[in-house]
C-alpha cells in the first residue's frame, strides 16, 4: 500500500514526498513571464524538496539531516523576477538525490556495486568530498545511503532528472540570447551562516552575500561590479568568489566572449530562515523584496557598451 504523501510529509518534518513516476515525469519547474523583457535567466538548481519514498527508505538519515543540503526557499526568494520579465527555472528534485550543479557524470566509485564506465569523472575534488552528481554525504560528511547503489540507478537519475534540467536551462539562455543579443544566467543559491568543519572557512561568520564569477572568467567584470554595488547599496555585506566562486553551471554556461554571462549568488541563510528548523524567518519578506529590486535595477542599467558580449558584440 502506498504511503500517503501528506502523512509522510507530516512525519518527516517538512519533506514533501511523492512517488518516483511523478517526480521523474516533472523534474523541473519553469516560471515564465507573460513577456520576456530582460536578458536574464534565473536558476535554482538546489532548492528542490520533493523526496521520493524510495529515496527516503534507502537513506540512513532523519528528515532534518537529509534536508541540510537544500538551498531552502531560494526559488521563492527570487520569485519576483518573473513579473519583471525574466524566467525562473528550479529543480523539483533535491540536491541530496541528484545535484544539477555538477558535471553530468561526477561519481564516487565507492558508492556503487558495479564498475563505472570510462567516461565517468571519479577524481574531481567534489567527488573526493562526497558531493558528486549523486552525493555520498550531506551536511558535515554524514553518509546518505544504507547500501551501495547500482550504476544503472545513477544513469537513470542523470537521464531523467539532470538532462531535463540542463536542456531547459540551455533553451532559456538561447531564447534570451536570440531576443536580446546577450544573456545573463543568475545562478541562485544559499549558504550556511558559518563555514562547516570540512570547509576552508570552518567556523567563520560569513558575509551576507557572495558573488561568484569564477574569478572574472564567467561574467563581464562590469556586471559583477554593478551587482556588488547594488547589493551594497541595499545594505548587504558582499564578498566575491570566497568561499564560493561558482560551480559547474557558472563555469559551463559563462562564456562572455559569446555574449553568455553567468553570475552565481550565494545568500546567507541566517538572513531569511531558521537554519535549525529549516523554516522561513522574519527576514524572508525583506530579502525577497530586495532581490526583486536588485534584479530590476541591474536589468535597468545601460548595457549597450558591455564588453565581452553585449548586444553590440553579438549582433
How far apart are the C-alpha atoms of 243 and 77, rounded to whole Å?
A: 21
Mean pLDDT of 161-185: 98
Grid cell of 205 as nine digits: 561568520
Helix (H, G, I), strand (E, B) or coil at 160: helix
In tens, the pLDDT along 125-166 reads 999 999 999 999 997 778 999 999 999 999 999 999 999 999
Question: Which pTM value belongs to this model?
Answer: 0.91
Which is nearest to 220 in space by CA: 95, 77, 93, 39? 39
How far apart are the C-alpha atoms of 49 and 17, rounded to whole Å?
A: 8
Number of other CB atoms surrounding residue 19 within 10 Å: 13
In the chain, what are the domains? 5-48+63-94+156-314 (3.40.630.40)
In tens, the pLDDT along 32-76 reads 999 999 999 999 999 999 998 889 899 999 878 889 899 999 999
Cβ atoms 284, 273 nearer than 8 A: yes
Amino acid at each position: 500500500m502506498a504511503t500517503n504523501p501528506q502523512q509522510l510529509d507530516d512525519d518527516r518534518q517538512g519533506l514533501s514526498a511523492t512517488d518516483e513516476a511523478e517526480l521523474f515525469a516533472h523534474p523541473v519547474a519553469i516560471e515564465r513571464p507573460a513577456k520576456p523583457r530582460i536578458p536574464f535567466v534565473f536558476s535554482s538548481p538546489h532548492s528542490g524538496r520533493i523526496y521520493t519514498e524510495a529515496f527516503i527508505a534507502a537513506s540512513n538519515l532523519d528528515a532534518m539531516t537529509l534536508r541540510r543540503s537544500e538551498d531552502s526557499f531560494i526559488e521563492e526568494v527570487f520569485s519576483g523576477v518573473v513579473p519583471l520579465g525574466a524566467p525562473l527555472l528550479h529543480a523539483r528534485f533535491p540536491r541530496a538525490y541528484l545535484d544539477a550543479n555538477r558535471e553530468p557524470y561526477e561519481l564516487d566509485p565507492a558508492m556503487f556495486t558495479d564498475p563505472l564506465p570510462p567516461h565517468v569523472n571519479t577524481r574531481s575534488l567534489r567527488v573526493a568530498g562526497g558531493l558528486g552528481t549523486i552525493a555520498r554525504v550531506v551536511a558535515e560528511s554524514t553518509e546518505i545511503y544504507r547500501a551501495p547503489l547500482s550504476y544503472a540507478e545513477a544513469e537513470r537519475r542523470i537521464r531523467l532528472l539532470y538532462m531535463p534540467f540542463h536542456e531547459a536551462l540551455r533553451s532559456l539562455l538561447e531564447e534570451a540570447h536570440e531576443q536580446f543579443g546577450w544573456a545573463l544566467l543568475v545562478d541562485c543559491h544559499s549558504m550556511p551562516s558559518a563555514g562547516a568543519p570540512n570547509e576552508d572557512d570552518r567556523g567563520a561568520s560569513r558575509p551576507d552575500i557572495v558573488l561568484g564569477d569564477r574569478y572574472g572568467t564567467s561574467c563581464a567584470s562590469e556586471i559583477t561590479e554593478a551587482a556588488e554595488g547594488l547589493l551594497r547599496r541595499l545594505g548587504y555585506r558582499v564578498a566575491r568568489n570566497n568561499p564560493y566562486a561558482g560551480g559547474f553551471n557558472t563555469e559551463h554556461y559563462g562564456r562572455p566572449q559569446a555574449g553568455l554571462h553567468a553570475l552565481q549568488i550565494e545568500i546567507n541563510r541566517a538572513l531569511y530562515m531558521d537554519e535549525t528548523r529549516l523554516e522561513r524567518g522574519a527576514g524572508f519578506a525583506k530579502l525577497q523584496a530586495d532581490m526583486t529590486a536588485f534584479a530590476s535595477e541591474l536589468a535597468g542599467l545601460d548595457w549597450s557598451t558591455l564588453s565581452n558580449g553585449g548586444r553590440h558584440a553579438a549582433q
